[in-house]
Structure 1
Amino acid sequence: MDKDRIRGAAKQVKGAIEEAVGKVTGDAKLQAEGAADKAAGKIQNAIGGAKDVLRDKP
């Protein structure tokens, strides 16, 4: 498993938590930052997945 997949998954979790806290507290800025972190985490995770596929090719 590529380190980008791990970091991406962690960033997605962090973003989801920030987004939820922002929703509950009514903090639109925190909610937006959480959504951005979540999206960045998805992208980073996808990059890591692509690296894994390329690495595993014969």
Structure 2
Amino acid sequence: MANESHIKGTGNDLGGKVKEGLGKATGDKDLEAEGHADQAKSNLQKAWGDIKDAVKK
């Protein structure tokens, strides 16, 4: 079941992938790193969503 944390996590993951791709394409290492950070944040959000789902059950 998707909850708010899963949805935000997915959004951050997609945004992070876009930033990473743009950073690679333009040679902007800072933007690429920011994309990686957004993807890491999304993993934490999704994990938090999994925990919340497990507690509800």
Unaligned residue ranges in structure 1 (runs of 5+): none
State the aligned residue count: 56
Partners of 2:43 and 2:35 in 1: CA distance = 12
Letter of the 1:7 partner, please give it: K
1:41 maps to: 42
Whether 1:8 and 2:9 are equivalent positions in the alignment is yes
- Aligned CA-pair RMSD: 0.7
Equivalent position of 2:26 in the other structure: 25
Once the two structures are TM-superposed, the CA of residue 2 in structure 1 deviates from its matched residue by: 1.6
Instruction: Please report the TM-score for the alignment, with normalisation by the length of structure 2.
Output: 0.92
Aligned sequence identity (%): 38
List runs of 5+ in structure 2 lacking aligned partners. none
